[in-house]
Amino acid sequence: MTKSAEGIWSVTSKPVPPDLYGYTFSVDGVANFDPVNPSVKTNMIYVSNMVEVLGGQPWEVIDVPHGEVHEHFYRSSVVGDQRDYFVYTPPGYRQGKTKLPVLYLLHGFSDTAIGWTAVGRANQILDNLIAQGKAKPMIVVMPLGYGVSDFVLSSKPRTRERSMENVSKFREALLTEVLPQVEKDYRVSAKREDRAIAGLSMGGAESLLTGLNNIDKFAYVGAFSAGGFPAGQPEEVLPKFDAASGNKLKVFWMACGTEDGLIGFQRGFASWVQGKGIKMVAKETPGGHQWPLWRRNLAEFAQMIFR
């Protein structure tokens, strides 16, 4: 940055590809928000402003019919706290009568339930894909992804046992509290062929552990930059996952950036799955552990499901 005669600091960046970018101002080593930019990248740890560079990306707001996003609050008896989840309904939902398929979309570690709409732009991605005929109209449920309420900000170490508790209680809350309430409140199909689950990072691992252990409930499983399993070996957390059950999946899709430290987990897990004779896709793209990949992962996955 350079300082003008009037004392104003300024800088002009190099051209950057169309995307959503997070940024802060570093003043004497302390990160500060931009006081005139209301666009904020929400997170429990890594909070920043956002700036959008337009250029025909699938999450940009364009002149198409738009759906709605609803926030629900409830007390979880499984976790023992007050929590929320968000539900996207596609354009025309209020006027429709048919039951729709549903995608359960999970956020990553340190995000909250609003992450996939506030930062991931999931609702805008679905609006655009549906309008273009590239994705089926669907309902998207975005729950809070923690089975331990203070899993992120607690001073307690995230041990293997605590991490397993986080995953197992989240799965229980999703299947016994969120899913039944969604099917009560919304016009969604209860058939496994009409249910999908996907997520990023921690949510990617939760999608694998929930979806692959409950193939009677989910026909589509997606994992974006999936975190590793708390128990280490797949056999420990997927004891009944074999070719007979795995090949009942209509779509089993993983994606990860080649510069992401989790690429090793994806490669190892994909090798284990394919070694069992189970059909899946493990996609690798340039990039790290970041939202620009996950938004594109969602746009691609959404076009594959419910076909």
Tokens linked to 131: 């309008």
Q: How many domains does the chain have?
A: 2
**Residues 256, 113 share a domain:** yes
pLDDT tens digit string along 244-258? 999 999 999 999 999
**Residues 153, 37 share a domain:** no
pLDDT tens digit string along 75-93? 999 999 999 999 999 999 9
In the chain, the amino acid numbered 81 is D
pLDDT tens digit string along 160-181? 899 999 999 999 999 999 999 9
Mean pLDDT calculated for residue range 123-151 = 97
Given a cut of 90, whether residue 103 has pLDDT beyond it is yes
Instruction: For residue 23, give every residue at least 6 positions away whose Cβ sits within 8 Å of its Cβ, in sequence order, or none.
Output: 34, 48, 49, 50, 51
* Ramachandran sector of residue 114 (left: φ over 0; alpha: ψ -120 to 50; beta: rest): alpha
Tokens linked to 253: 């899709």
Given a cut of 90, whether residue 230 has pLDDT beyond it is no
Given a cut of 70, whether residue 137 has pLDDT beyond it is yes
State the first-to-last Cα distance of the chain, in angstroms, to the nearest integer: 51
* Enclosing domain of residue 28: 13-53
Confidence at 281, pLDDT banded by 50, 70, 90: very high
Instruction: For residue 173, give every residue at least 6 positions away whose Cβ sits within 8 Å of its Cβ, in sequence order, or none.
Output: 76, 78, 79, 143, 147
Task: Identify the CATH number of the domain in which residue 190 sits.
Answer: 3.40.50.1820
**Residues 289, 150 share a domain:** yes
**Residues 236, 159 share a domain:** yes
> Is the pTM here over 0.85, yes or no?
yes
Percent of the chain with pLDDT over 90: 92
